[in-house]
Structure 1
Amino acid sequence: MKSELSSTDAIKRWDKYAELISSSYGETGDIHREIFLNPTLFRLMGSVENKKVLDAGCGEGYLSRMIAKAGASVTGVDYSQNMIQLATSKSPEDLKITFRHGNCEELSFLQNKSFDLIVSNMVLHDLSDYEMAIHEMNRLLVDGGTFIFSILHPCFVTPGSGWVKSDTGEKLYWKVDNYFFEGTYNQNFPIDQEEKFLFFHRTLSSYVNTIVRAGFHIEEMIEPKPSAEMIEKYPSFEEDFRCSDFLVFKLRK
């Protein structure tokens, strides 16, 4: 665990491994996004037709493309220049998505009240100043606008968490440790690289209190679990009924 690292360090690592990450993405992102996050995000979004949507931390742009195909006018921003280049190259011109390079902690090039809906998918735990980012999302939304974001579940994905296994490799239970530590630590992805990505862990109360101070009302909190359809397609994910990996918020300005 290293609390002194910053978003700058995280950006360098995302830039460095941008192509490696995007190589595992299909039309619906990676497998965890397909199983857990996309169904939850789109249920919470509802109809996006003719809405102005910001994909805050768009990565290689798969979610921007899905939202644009559903009829929205989409702007995608990401702090990795290499990710923005990949998103632009992978997105057909007829979708008319605008991709911009920028850090969600400070998006001064975007005007106040520019968007009806903001979606930030697995981004806030990659930012050192998540409080500023949440305030920025409030600034950019129209009055009554919606902010939906997903993160690693702060109660279960913590520094030192992981499966405890028997001598034969059977998964016995999920161990949580260092919950009240707030700072950075290395992810185990990509596992074949010496330099890992960074998480910025915070407690659940830190997230909720920041949300309230920024001027949002919490409409829903969802801990996504695999559907019966997804379990049939990916049987190994039945173990995800034992512990929640993700947490999704729907907020109203």
Structure 2
Amino acid sequence: MKNELGTEEAIKRWDKYAELLASSYGENGDLHREIFLNPALFNLMGSVNNKRVLDAGCGEGYLSRMIAKAGGSVTGVDYSPNMVQLAMSRSLEELKISFLHGNCENLSFLQDKTFDLIVSNMVIQDLSDYEMAISEMYRLLVDGGTFIFSILHPCFVTPGSGWVKSDAGEKLYWKVDNYFYEGAYNQMFPIGQEEKVLFFHRTLSSYVNTIVRAGFQIEEMVEPKPSVEMLEKYPSFEEDFRCSDFLVFKLRK
């Protein structure tokens, strides 16, 4: 299952559809971010007041804005120039967020030990050289700093995974396939474009070993599931108790 596509191709696709993708985002991001990721991220972050925070792979900037409103001093970087422009246009000046164009695999324009906290929300699976990206986050953190990142769950969201349905369309079970394949694969855009988004799959052990080799300590891992409050608001997400879509790491330098 060989695929030679890399980060540059991923950038091209995200940049091409930046405005369309951003159109589905409100003040809390999209539904999956509102229901699963935001509660997990903010619980792991704790207080961000007066902390220097890097939003690594900020997209259209919704998370940067949430952190800034909570008192953080935020820098957002993204490898899509169009996403950076959208983030700047959607963010009030008084939030004082600095949005910069940059690929998390190489942020050499940022100085060592600049940030107290780095958050990377659903970005690492969009990068070919994830080892370099994780090493960059280590370099940019102060000693004792925290790196929190979320990804598609590598054990369940794999090339070829998906619901197996009955003839009547009932969801029977979630199929996992090609778990040990590591590399690029195409996945449908969530909004029906013919072109597909590019993800990079790795095994859970590859992620953990890369984290450890970079020098990080794993403080916590979270597999987010919908809260009672979210299920009352969005009852169709009851099915997400059957399988975990996301995995969130909290690391300490």
Q: Could you state the TM-score of these two structures normalised by the residue count of structure 2?
A: 0.99
Q: Render the CA deviation track for 1:158-217: whole Å, top value 9, x for unaligned.
A: 001000111111101000000000011111114522211101000000000000000000
Q: Which residue of 1 aligns with 2:83?
A: 83
Kept in 2: contact 1:77–1:103 (CA 8 A): yes
- Give matches, 1:54-65, under 5 Å: 54-65=54-65
The 3-state SS of whatever aligns with 1:187 is strand
Q: Which sections of structure 1, spanning at least 5 residues, go unmatched?
A: none
Q: Which residue of 1 aligns with 2:137?
A: 137
- Give matches, 1:7-156, under 5 Å: 7-156=7-156
Identity over the aligned pairs, expressed in percent?
85
Q: Which residue of 1 aligns with 2:201?
A: 201
Q: Which residue of 2 aligns with 1:6?
A: 6
Q: Render the CA deviation track for 1:124-163: whole Å, top value 9, x for unaligned.
A: 0000000000000000000000000000000000001000
Instruction: Write the distance in 2 (CA, Å) between the matches of 1:157 and 1:96.
Output: 36
Give structure 1 regions of 4+ aligned residues with deviation exceeding 6 angstroms: none
Shift of 1:3: 2.0
Q: How many residue pairs get matched?
A: 253
Shift of 1:103: 0.1
Instruction: Write the distance in 1 (CA, Å) between the matches of 2:85 and 2:191.
Output: 24
Q: Could you state the TM-score of these two structures normalised by the residue count of structure 1?
A: 0.99
Instruction: Write the distance in 1 (CA, Å) between the matches of 2:34 and 2:13.
Output: 24
The 3-state SS of whatever aligns with 1:231 is helix
Instruction: Write the distance in 2 (CA, Å) between the matches of 1:5 and 1:213.
Output: 25
| Distance change in 2, residues 1:192/1:2 (3 Å) | farther
Instruction: Write the distance in 1 (CA, Å) between the matches of 2:6 and 2:202.
Output: 14
The 3-state SS of whatever aligns with 1:65 is helix
Q: Which sections of structure 2, spanning at least 5 residues, go unmatched?
A: none
Q: Which residue of 1 aligns with 2:174?
A: 174
Shift of 1:2: 5.0
CA RMSD, aligned part only? 0.7
Kept in 2: contact 1:2–1:185 (CA 8 A): no
Equivalent position amino acid for 2:144 in 1: G
Equivalent position amino acid for 2:116 in 1: D
The 3-state SS of whatever aligns with 1:85 is helix
- Of stretches 185-194 and 36-45 in structure 1, the one that deviates more from structure 2 is 185-194
Equivalent position amino acid for 1:121 in 2: N
